Every structure is written in C-alpha cells, then in structure tokens.
Amino acid sequence: MSLTKEPKLITGNSNMPLSSAIARRMSLHRGVSQGLVEARVERFNDGEIFVEVYDNVRGEDMFIIQSTSNPANDNLMELLIMADALRRSSAQRITAVIPYFGYARQDRRSKARTPISAKLVANMLVGTGIERVLTMDLHAAQIQGFFDIPVDNLYASPIFALDIKHQFKDNLDDIMVVSPDVGGVARARELAKRINAPLSIVDKRREKAGEVAEMTVIGDVTGKKCFIVDDMVDTAGTLCKAAEVLMENGASEVHAYITHGVLSGPACERITNSVMKSLVITDTIAATEAVKKTPNIRVVPTAPMFAQAILNIWNGTSVSSLFDTDMLEPIYEGMF
C-alpha cells in the first residue's frame, strides 16, 4: 500500500474534459470523491506561463494530466512549470500522465543535421523532477529508452478490440485489419490477434513528408471490411488515400481505428469527403469543434484505462495487467 494518504490529480489546460473524466472514474473505482487539485495555470500578457497551486501537496503522490498536443510548445511548458511548482512544494512523487506525447515523431535523425527532439523533451521532463511517465501509444516504442525513469506505455488496441466486438459483432468473420505502412505492422497485428482477424499491409512510398507517391496493398482484401490501424492521424491525406486504394482493391467497407486524432489543417474536410465509413479515435487529444461536427468521426474514451493505471501506480500494482481483455472488460462495462 502506498505510504502517502491518497493520489492527487492536477491538470493543465490541454485536455480538461479528459482530466475531469479520469477524476470521476477514480472516484467510482475507489468509492471516495476524487477531485482535481485547485490551481491556476495562466499566461502573462507576453505569453509567459504562470502556475499557482492552491492546495497543500507536501508529501503527496501527484499526477499531472497534460497532453502535449496543439499548441504543443505551450502545453509542454505548462507541464514542465507545473512539475517545478509541485517539486518546490515538496510533493513526494510526481508522475506525468501524458495521454498524447508530442514530438514523438522526431525520435531519430532522419537526415544530417536534424535533432532528436523526443530525446530533448525526455531530458526536460526528467530535469524538472518528474519521476514517472504514463502515456498511451508512443509513436515509437523505443522512446521509453530516452528516459532514465520508469515509463508506462498503455495501448489503445484493447479498447479498440472491445469497440469492434460490440459495433461489428455480427460481421467479425468479414473483418481485415490493415496496417497503413510496414512500420505499423506490430500495432496492427496486436489488434488482429485480439479480434482473431487476418492482417493486410498498405505499402507506401513517400517522395517527401506529407506526400505519398505510390501505394500497394499486400494481401487480398476483396469483400472485406477493412480496419486501418495506426497511432496518429494528422492531416489525414495518407489515411484517406489508403482508404481509396483499399476500395479499389475490392474492400466492401473501410473504417479506421487511430489512437491520437491530431487532425490538423484540412483533415476534417478530407475525412468527411472520404470513402471511409468511420474514423474512430480516442480522447487523448481534446476534440475541436470541427472534429465534433464531422459525422463519420467517433470518439472512444480512455479515462477508465488511465484512471485504473493511475490507481495501480499509486498502489504499486501491475500496469501491464490492463492489457488483458478480462481485466479491461469490467472497467468498460456498459460503455460500448
């Protein structure tokens, strides 16, 4: 049992609905009211971020909930400054709950004289006194090795599997899971195993970032309901093109299950006009008004999983147990 009195949650401005939902789920799990620590996270006129924590956090087990999504730099600085405020207020342990880890795409030197920004962000987080990171579907799993502190990387595939089994329970034999590139095969295979479906791959060749020159489908998708699986969707150009190629190769329907809905620029318009019947994303990034108004985008909740993971960290029990369907189903009971 934890030596501290209780876990305490504090949130920045990046995703207040998710933070509130996590607090509600923790209240339900514990049978004790779990609120958010009173604090203000504001900006001076010149854009500088200021944090003041109103509650006493001395000796407490603190969890900062903050996605580093758009505006990525502002949200990252909020997280760093909140961590510094808690450390200087004598919090016993600080865990950063980062549902969407920004800068994860910059995990290696893709060409000469380029940075490894994900490593830089990891150094900054550790330098502020954060002792553990809890996140979901890192763009590259090796980013965990950039940290010299424990990193718990949750996966959305168990949640997606539950949703698919509910939404398509009468058509599970017709499903084909599709990886949108060779690099995402492991992620797609994980979901395919959970729903006992075959796997296909869309091989893409890029001329430059954001543009796809050619796509080839590896595998027979004729007559299949194809489910594209990926960790993030940004401008949705590649995703919509992959959906078109699958339909041209005989797929009966195309759906997409993608963890992080970055959805910047023309993404929502492209998805609305695409051949995809649905795009399912999680709430790791707060949905914009444009996302909410897009008819073929649906959001599934991550709060139950994050709430249980936070409680497991606080209690010193296994976080990886949440990858098991038998463990996850009761947590999501009645939500699908």
Ligand-binding annotation for 237, yes or no, is yes
Ligand-binding annotation for 46, yes or no, is yes
Quote the Cα angle for 257-258-259, to 5°. 125
**Hey, how many other C-beta atoms are within 10 angstroms of the C-beta on 131?**
17
By CB atoms closer than 10 A (0-12, 13-18, 19+), residue 88 is exposed
Ligand-binding annotation for 294, yes or no, is no
Rounded CA gap, 29 and 15, in Å? 21
229: which 2 tokens? Answer: 């699986």
131: which 2 tokens? Answer: 């002792």
Ligand-binding annotation for 325, yes or no, is no
Ligand-binding annotation for 181, yes or no, is yes
Closest CA to 305 of 155, 107, 193: 155
Ligand-binding annotation for 250, yes or no, is no
Is 204 annotated in the active site?
A: yes
Rounded CA gap, 162 and 322, in Å? 13
Amino acid at 113: R
Rounded CA gap, 163 and 306, in Å? 17
**183 Cβ contact list (under 8 Å, min separation 6):** none
CB 164 within 8 A of CB 196: no
Burial state string for 145-157 with b = 16 or more CB within 10 A and e = fewer than 16: ebbeeebbbbbbb
Ligand-binding annotation for 235, yes or no, is yes
Ligand-binding annotation for 105, yes or no, is yes
Ligand-binding annotation for 139, yes or no, is yes
5, 165, 169, 204: which is the annotated catalytic residue? 204
Rounded CA gap, 154 and 119, in Å? 19
CB 256 within 8 A of CB 233: yes
Q: Mark the binding-site residues for D-ribose 5-phosphate, compressed into ranges.
A: 206, 230, 234-238
Q: Mark the binding-site residues for Mg(2+), compressed into ranges.
A: 139, 181
Q: Which positions are annotated as active-site residues?
A: 204
